[in-house]
Amino acid sequence: MKNEGEAAKRPDNTAFTQQRLPAWQPILSAGIVIPGFLLIGLAFIGIGIGLFLTSQTIQVWEMDYTGVEKDSPCFRCTILSNQNCTCEVTFSLSTLFTGPVFFYYGLSNYYQNFRKYGVSKDYYQLAGDTGYFKSPEADCAPYAYDSKKNPIVPCGAIANSIFNDTFELYQIINGTKKQVPLDGKGISWWTDYNIKYRNPSPVNGSFAKSFDGTVKPINWPKPAYELDLIDPNNNGFLNQDFLVWMRRAALPQFRKLYRRITDGDYAAGLPAGNYSLKVHYNYPVLSFDGRKKVVFSNVSWMGGKNDFLGIAYLVVGSLCVVMSVVMLVVYAKFKFSDDDDA
């Protein structure tokens, strides 16, 4: 009986179950490893040089406008009692800033990756499900209801803290200001605009009535259905600035796309000269020792400016070349010693 039980548990006598399939196992000899390390190192060095030189051609210009310094034109706007404050910052470009130019806003010491902050939103609301407008998710607390127990749409800390500084850019030509057109279309991720976020269906032809019985987030100056009254495709939860903000940053120092400069006389870029940036200063950051800045940048085939990637390839490639030389010396020393002994 014991032999019959063992036979029943025995695997089938096939090449697969008995591990008799043909296999190939490389023999890593010095003649293979040393040239392999050398070729890989040279390839990495070549790629690293290309990436680093390409990164050097990308132009980046940054300017802090937080207004911490008393001589800053935005210092008076840091006083919380100054509502609807605007300030104007001037700067100069010595050479053509090649287009297309991407206009970013940047924040420092801002932890969007904090766990409780990250989950503080209602996915069903943002997907346009009006059934959750009156009963927000518990994760949205304390931004689920206002002081009168009215449900907030969109709820949560992320939506409530949306960046709301706005900018106007002018080129100064012979003392006259010429406004630079800023394009805000298509600045969010395609998946966010077309898949992840949806607006609720209009009620009796009115988009605003979809939000009846709800209130706007506490820190918002206007409700979601009034974010863009001119372009209905840029309103509500599909507003481009809202979508950009809702995609959280992984690090406490980050920048997010605000606009692109691609139209009219500035399609080729920003010409050398003097410029004025008008800032509608609304977003307070000094309470958590934060800083605000604007960034202009262009891109290449590898994306934005990133010296680290090229340097990383150069370092790894150099290490591979050095290791190949070390292995060659060790192999030559001990191999030739064995030959002499023989």
Structural domain span for residue 272: 59-309
Q: 39 lies in a domain?
A: no
Count the domains in the chain.
1
Per-residue pLDDT of the chain (342 residues; tens, 9 = 90+): 556 666 677 788 888 888 888 888 878 888 889 999 999 999 999 999 999 999 999 999 999 999 999 899 999 999 888 888 999 999 999 999 998 999 999 999 999 999 999 999 999 999 999 999 999 999 999 999 999 999 999 999 999 999 999 999 999 999 899 999 999 999 999 999 999 999 999 999 899 999 999 999 999 999 999 999 888 889 999 999 999 999 999 999 999 999 999 988 999 999 999 999 999 999 999 999 999 999 999 998 888 898 999 999 999 999 999 999 999 998 888 775 555 555
Q: 26 lies in a domain?
A: no
Q: 236 lies in a domain?
A: yes
Q: 18 lies in a domain?
A: no
Question: What confidence score (pLDDT) does residue 54 get?
Answer: 93
3-state secondary structure of 22: coil
Question: What confidence score (pLDDT) does residue 77 get?
Answer: 94
Tell me: the pLDDT tens digits for 183-194?
999 999 999 999
Question: What confidence score (pLDDT) does residue 14 get?
Answer: 87
| CB 164, CB 282: distance < 8 Å | yes
Residue 211 has phi, psi (to 5 degrees) of: -105, 10
Q: 1 lies in a domain?
A: no
Q: 194 lies in a domain?
A: yes
Q: 319 lies in a domain?
A: no
In terms of DSSP bridges, do strands 60-64 and 273-281 run parallel, antiparallel, or are they unpaired? unpaired
Question: What confidence score (pLDDT) does residue 230 get?
Answer: 87
Question: What confidence score (pLDDT) does residue 225 get?
Answer: 94
Of the candidates 103, 213, 87, 88, the residue with the CA atom closest to the CA atom of residue 148:
213
- Residue 270 bridge partners (DSSP): 97
Query: Please, what is the average pLDDT of the chain?
Result: 92
Q: Which tokens belong to 205?
A: 């032809």
- Residue 296 bridge partners (DSSP): 61, 103
Tell me: the pLDDT tens digits for 85-111?
999 999 999 999 998 999 999 999 999
Own/partner contacts of 80-88, CB < 8 Å, gap of 24 or more, are 80/284, 84/280, 84/282, 85/280, 85/281, 85/282, 86/278, 86/279, 86/280, 86/281, 87/278, 87/279, 87/281, 88/276, 88/277, 88/278, 88/279
Of the candidates 247, 304, 246, 325, the residue with the CA atom closest to the CA atom of residue 57:
304
Q: 240 lies in a domain?
A: yes
Decide: residue 291, CB within 10 A, 0-12 exposed, 13-18 middle, 19+ buried.
middle
| CB 177, CB 276: distance < 8 Å | yes
